[in-house]
């Protein structure tokens, strides 16, 4: 009784997998062409069908949007790619170029090298591996301290004095890896930074279409979200000015 049903389910699953493979193959084929609209659609298909999100994915999507003159979406995708891979030179160069093309004169302040190394190290390890390394170092340190405590009287003097500093070093590494994992997660889960994606968005002193107009902003500006209210978001611009924008005019990085 159940055998025909099982065969039908298996057949449908096979057809679905074949359809997915065809869609992914078509998406990758379109990336080789010059049609920016087709490339954007192809990249969206890759994402929806589990093609994976990477710094290179966001670079390709940003390039396709730039080719269509969508500076806001191009900058948004470059920023998203740099979150995944902060040391990606191509993304950083593209971001600077598109900002200049969009007329955004941003003062580039060089990041302190220790902060930059920290972010690059966290991205290289990834949060999950950093947490695993933290746990491994922690238990090795606990094991070393326990061994020293139980057998300190019968140990050689050199080994006894080397064991505690070694355990202390492992504890420091555990804290370091744990902090790297936390900072990586905090960066990826940060939903308070956004990019203006619409041209001519009205920055107002209060939420609502009747509030006093402060300024009309151009797409591509990076903003910090401070508050949400009734379809509007209070934002802070890079120069410190604040105001309210319609929610649909910006996208979270």
The architecture of the domain spanning 193-252 is Roll (2.30)
Domain 2-101: assigned CATH number: 1.25.40.10
Q: What is the pLDDT along the chain (253 residues), one digit of tens a residue?
A: 444 433 333 433 443 434 444 544 555 565 556 677 777 777 776 666 665 678 888 998 899 999 989 999 999 999 999 998 998 999 999 999 999 998 887 656 666 778 889 999 999 989 999 999 999 999 999 998 888 888 877 777 777 777 888 899 999 999 999 999 999 999 988 889 999 999 889 999 999 988 999 999 989 999 999 999 989 999 999 888 899 999 999 999 8
Can you give the pLDDT at residue 90? 93
Domain ranges of the chain: 2-101, 114-172, 193-252
- Residue 188 CA from chain centroid, whole number: 5
Can you give the pLDDT at residue 107? 59
């Amino acid at each position: 009784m159940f055998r025909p049903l099982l065969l039908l389910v298996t057949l449908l699953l096979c057809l679905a997998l074949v359809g997915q493979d065809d869609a992914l193959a078509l998406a990758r084929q379109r990336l080789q062409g010059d049609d920016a609209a087709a490339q954007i659609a192809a990249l969206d298909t890759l994402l929806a069908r589990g093609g994976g999100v990477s710094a290179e994915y966001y670079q390709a999507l940003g390039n396709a949007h730039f080719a269509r003159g969508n500076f806001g979406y191009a900058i948004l995708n470059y920023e998203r790619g740099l979150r995944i891979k902060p040391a990606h030179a191509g993304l950083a160069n593209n971001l600077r170029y598109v900002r200049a093309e969009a007329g955004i004169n941003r003062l580039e302040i060089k990041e302190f090298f220790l902060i930059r190394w920290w972010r690059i190290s966290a991205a290289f390890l990834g949060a999950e591996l950093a947490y695993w390394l933290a746990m491994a170092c922690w238990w090795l340190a606990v094991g070393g301290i326990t061994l020293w405590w139980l057998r300190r009287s019968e140990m050689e003097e050199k080994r006894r004095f080397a064991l505690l500093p070694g355990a202390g070093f492992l504890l420091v590494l555990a804290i370091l890896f744990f902090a790297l994992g936390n900072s990586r997660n905090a960066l990826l889960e940060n939903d308070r930074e956004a990019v203006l994606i619409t041209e001519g968005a009205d920055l107002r002193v209060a939420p609502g279409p009747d509030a006093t107009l402060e300024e009309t902003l151009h797409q591509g500006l990076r903003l910090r979200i401070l508050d949400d209210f009734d379809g509007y978001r209070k934002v802070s611009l890079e120069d410190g000015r604040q105001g309210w924008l319609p929610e649909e005019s910006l996208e979270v990085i």
